[in-house]
């Protein structure tokens, strides 16, 4: 992520989102940059915005954080109005796209992945700063996304188990961190399932998977 988005459109980060037969996996690295300076080494780029929905962020830090708060509040209000019923993933993606497209000449400098589960299954959406919203089986964002996509294109298969999908997400982020200077300093992973909702993995569990996969 970039600390100062002015005159800077490139999104220095790597995030991925993948669907699987058990739900959705979201993953990011943790580096924030200001040009060639590593500004922060433990940046939170992964958020739960509802019990059934998660979000990854790339782009300007301030814009991304403000937008995340906005979406989280709207999802909570929806649940309150509907007596505890969660917003669908498509509705959350459409809402976010409408917010993005409504900023006119002063857009949110972000690229997002929104993923989750609802009554229609598991979904992952890629959202751009102009308000474009595209659903896919898997996607990646940020400056490290070409390297992540290389891994995903080669190894992703529909119907993968949650465990295998977590491993693939970790591998994709790790490969991007090897070649993209704006990506690094650790990996965050979250899963979204019908049974447990949004759950962020513990660091020690991620480190165990990294050691087993030998991708560090």
pLDDT in tens, 153-183: 999 999 999 999 999 999 999 999 999 999 9
Give yes or no for a contact between 33 and 45, defined as CB atoms under 8 angstroms apart: no
187-193 β-sheet, strand order: 138-141, 15-20, 23-29, 187-193, 197-200
48-86 pLDDT, tens per residue?
999 999 999 999 989 999 999 999 999 999 999 988 899
Q: Which of 65, 71, 77, 79 is nearest to 49 (CA)?
A: 71
Please tell me the distance from the alpha carbon of residue 91 to that of residue 50, in angstroms, as a whole number.
12
Tell me the whole-structure pTM to 2 decimals: 0.92
* DSSP tag of 2: B
Return the C-alpha torsion angle 146, 149, 154, 159, nearest 10: 180
Q: Evaluate if residue 8 carries a pLDDT over 50.
A: no
Domain parsing of the chain, residue ranges: 15-213
Q: Is 13 a catalytic residue?
A: yes
Domain 15-213 is classified in which CATH homologous superfamily?
Aminohydrolase, N-terminal nucleophile (Ntn) domain (3.60.20.10)
pLDDT tens-digit readout, 80-106: 998 889 999 999 999 999 999 987 667
Residue 126: predicted pLDDT: 98
Q: Can you give the pLDDT at residue 12?
A: 80
Backbone angles phi, psi at 104, to 5 degrees: 60, -125
Please determine, for residue 184, whether its predicted confidence score (pLDDT) is greater than 50. yes
CB-based contact 91:46 (threshold 8 Å):
no
Q: Are 30 and 203 in contact (CB under 8 A)?
A: no
Task: Kindly give, in sequence order, each residue whose CB lies less than 8 Å from that of residue 12, ignoring residues fewer than 6 positions away.
Answer: 1, 2, 31, 32, 33, 58, 142, 143, 180, 182, 183
Those residues whose C-beta lies under 8 Å from the C-beta of residue 25, and which sit 6 or more positions away, are: 16, 17, 18, 115, 162, 165, 166, 168, 169, 189, 190, 191, 192
């Amino acid at each position: 992520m970039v600390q100062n988005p002015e005159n800077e459109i490139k999104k220095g980060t790597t995030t991925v989102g993948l669907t699987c037969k058990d739900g959705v996996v979201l993953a990011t690295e943790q580096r924030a940059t200001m040009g060639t300076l590593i500004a922060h080494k433990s940046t939170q780029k992964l958020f739960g915005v509802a019990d059934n929905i998660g979000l990854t962020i790339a782009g300007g830090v301030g814009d991304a954080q403000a937008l995340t708060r906005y979406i989280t509040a709207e999802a909570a209000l929806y649940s309150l109005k509907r007596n505890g019923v969660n917003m669908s993933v498509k509705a959350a993606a459409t809402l976010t796209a409408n917010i993005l497209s409504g900023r006119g000449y002063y857009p949110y400098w972000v690229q997002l992945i929104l993923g989750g589960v609802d009554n229609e299954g598991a979904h992952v959406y890629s959202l751009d700063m102009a308000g474009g919203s595209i659903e896919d089986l898997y996607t990646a964002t940020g400056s490290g996304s070409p390297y992540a996509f290389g891994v995903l294109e080669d190894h992703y298969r529909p119907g993968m188990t949650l465990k295998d999908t977590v491993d693939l997400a970790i591998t994709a982020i790790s490969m991007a961190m090897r070649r993209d200077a704006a990506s690094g300093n650790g990996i965050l992973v979250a899963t979204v399932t019908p049974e447990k909702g949004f759950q962020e993995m513990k660091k020690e569990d991620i480190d165990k998977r990294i050691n087993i996969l030998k991708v560090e």
